[in-house]
Structure formats: C-alpha cells, structure tokens
C-alpha cells in the first residue's frame, strides 16, 4: 500500500509498504479519514531529518497521521468480539502503553507508568495510508450518526479541545478566551459555544477569526492589531477578566496573556505543544488565586464521551474541514497547511 512519511525539512514522501497483518490482540482498520493536525507540522518542518520530539525514535520511516478513523477489516487472535469485530466503525486512541498500569487501565495510555510505547503517526505507523494496524484496546467506537471525518477530528484535535474544557469545568455562565483558532482552538470555540459559554476568540489570521465567528464566538480579537490584548479581554468581561482561558497557539506571548486575562480565581489551560512561557508568579498567579492547567489530549473514555456528546447535540464538526485530499495529493495538502492560514484538512485514503 502507499503511505505518507515526513522525512523532515518540509518534505513529504509517499512510499510503498506491505499491507499490515494483525498479531495477537491487534486489529487492522481500513482508514476512511485521517485528519491533518497542527502538531503534524512539527514533524513536517523538523530540521535535519525525521523528528520524534521527545518520544523514543523509531528505526526507518514512519507512516504519518495520528487522527485515524475507519472500519475494522481484520482481527488478530485473542481479540474479544465486544472489544472489536469486523465491520466495526472506530476511531483509534493514538497511543500504546503497557495496557495494565493504573494509567493505561483507565484509558490514559499516553501517561503509561512505564512510558508510552508508541505514538501512532510519530513513532509507530499512523493513518495516512489505506490500512492501519493497532491494538484492539486502542479502539473507540464511532457512533453511527457521525461521519468518518468527524471521527478523525475527535481522534485528536476536537478531542483535545473537549478534554481541556472538561478539565477546566466549563459551564454555560462562563466566559472563555481561546487563543489560537487553528483546528484545536476552533474546536474549542465550537464546543464551548454549544455549551453556552461566552467565547472570546483570538488569532492573528483574519480568515481564522472569521471562521471562529461562524463557529459561535461572541467576540473576536486580533492580537496583531490590538495594543493591549489583556485589556481588551477585560473590557469585554465587565473589567474582571475571563473566567477561563485556553491557549492552543503555543505562542509565548499568548500563553502569558492567557494567564493574565483571567479574573481572580480564574483558570488558564495550555494545550499547545512545545515552547516556553515567562510569568511573574506573584501578580500573575499567586495573588489572584489563578489555577494553571496543562492538558494533554484525552483518555479513551473522554474520546467516547466527546463523540457521544457531538452525536447527541448534532454538532457540525465536519465544518472544521475546509480541504479534503486524496492520498496522492498529500504533498500539496501539507504545503498549504504549512501556511497556517486555512482551516483543517483531511486525507481520504480510500
């Protein structure tokens, strides 16, 4: 089968590899949709060769794509029918841990006490291909009401936004400032607005801000044309600041503003990977009783809850996708995505 790999330096290869065969406890999915995530760009842009960005590096090229969604077409020995079966519509929780520690057994395989064994699309073959092999325990059922594209979004970007909002305890009476309106930030805007919150969306791209408005943002702010971002947020929240904030941009300035824009007793959450931030601890945190949260994706339980919520509320997650690409168009797809001015893309291998 043909598969996409990231050799680094903004290059992309489409290589030929054997179709996978499931081993004990494993399944093979025919991939129907494989989402393009903002974190893909760290691997696509990696200087000097393939990057694992802190994870144990793999030997040889790795198939990209960590937002998998498809249909089970093969089941290995030892897989129970209530775990996976041929024809099952499923997303993949894109991590493999030991499977038995307290973290893995509660669905948090990325937090495995022995260290995450594989991150699919990074250190293990992912979903930018016709087929993908994964442990059956990593599958999360895709509700019949949802498209495969929606499932791909929930498999990382939308699920990550859901996980962060849940950790902050977002409620309808809250105001929330969301920094960065890429796929994760825009998902957070869509979900938070659906939950009834007053959303203030921030991005330096006018196109992305316009989409944030379409997705339910009550207010939009462009930090590139605003002298005092924190002051602007306070002006929209009766001078108090937002109840909550979420940084999905990985920008040092945005992270600092996300902390400083919340009111006394407020909560700020970081989901953007990499980078750093500088804070003045006493005025920014201690003397306002601010809670700072780091949120890394979601559990299998959270992934299933997000999918059920989206299905039950009829949330149009598919609208996140502005571009749909065939596998043989992957080079063009990532060249466009690299500009970070468009919406979300998805690879449709079949």
Whether residue 323 has pLDDT greater than 60: yes
- Provide the pLDDT for residue 288: 98
Residue 343: per-residue pLDDT: 78
Q: Which among 155, 83, 119 has a CA at the least distance from the CA of 307?
A: 155
The structural domains of the chain, with segments of one domain joined by +, span: 2-156+298-348, 161-294
As a whole-number percent, the residues of the chain with pLDDT over 70 amount to: 97
Task: Specify whether domain 161-294 bears CATH 1.20.1260.10.
Answer: no
Average pLDDT, the chain: 95
pLDDT given at position 340: 78
Residue-wise pLDDT tens digits, 29-75: 999 999 999 889 889 998 876 665 566 666 689 999 999 999 999 99
The model carries a pTM of 0.94
Q: Of 48-62, 79-93, 106-120, 287-301, which range is least confident?
A: 48-62
For residue 5, the SS3 value is: strand
Backbone angles phi, psi at 214, to 5 degrees: -65, -30
Q: What is the pLDDT of residue 54?
A: 62
What number is the average pLDDT over the span 238-261? 98
Strand partners, 11: 8
Instruction: Find the angle CA(163)-CA(126)-CA(187) to the nearest 5 degrees.
Output: 30
pLDDT digit string (tens) for 191-239?
A: 999 999 999 999 999 999 999 999 999 999 999 999 999 999 999 999 9
Does domain 2-156+298-348 sit in CATH 3.90.180.10? yes
> Residue 274 pLDDT more than 90?
no
Torsion angle, CA of 51/329/90/30, rounded to 10 degrees? -100
pLDDT at 26 over 70: yes
Average pLDDT over residues 307-326: 97
């Amino acid at each position: 089968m043909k598969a996409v790999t990231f050799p680094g330096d903004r290059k992309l290869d489409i290589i030929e590899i054997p179709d996978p065969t499931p081993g004990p406890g494993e399944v093979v999915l025919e991939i129907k949709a494989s989402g393009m995530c903002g974190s893909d760009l760290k691997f696509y842009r990696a200087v000097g060769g393939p990057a694992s960005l802190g994870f144990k590096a793999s030997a040889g090229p790795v198939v990209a794509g960590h937002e998998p969604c498809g249909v089970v077409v093969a089941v290995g020995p030892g897989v129970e029918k209530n775990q996976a079966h041929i024809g099952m519509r499923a997303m993949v929780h894109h991590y493999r841990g030991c499977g038995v520690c307290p973290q893995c057994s509660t669905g948090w395989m990325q937090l495995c006490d022995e260290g995450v064994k594989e991150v699919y699309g990074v250190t293990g073959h992912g979903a930018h291909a016709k087929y993908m092999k994964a442990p059956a325990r990593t599958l999360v059922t895709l509700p019949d009401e949802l498209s495969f594209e929606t499932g791909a979004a929930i498999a990382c970007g939308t699920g990550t936004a859901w996980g962060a909002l849940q950790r902050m305890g977002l409620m309808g009476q809250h105001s929330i400032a969301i920094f960065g309106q890429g796929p994760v930030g825009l998902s957070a805007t869509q979900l938070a607005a659906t939950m009834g919150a007053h959303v203030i969306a921030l991005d330096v791209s006018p196109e992305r801000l316009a989409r944030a408005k379409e997705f339910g943002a009550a207010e939009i702010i462009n930090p590139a044309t605003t002298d005092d971002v924190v002051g602007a947020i306070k002006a929209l929240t009766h001078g108090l600041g937002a109840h909550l904030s979420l940084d999905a941009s990985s920008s040092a300035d945005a992270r600092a503003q996300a902390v400083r824009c919340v009111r006394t007793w407020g909560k700020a959450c970081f989901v953007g990977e990499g980078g750093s931030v500088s804070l003045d601890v006493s005025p920014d945190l201690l003397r306002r009783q601010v809670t700072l949260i780091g949120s890394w994706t979601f559990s299998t339980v959270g992934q299933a809850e997000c999918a059920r919520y989206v299905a039950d509320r009829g949330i149009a997650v598919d609208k996140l996708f502005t571009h749909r690409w065939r596998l043989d168009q992957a080079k063009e797809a990532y060249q466009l995505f690299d500009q970070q001015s468009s919406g979300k893309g998805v690879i449709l291998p079949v």
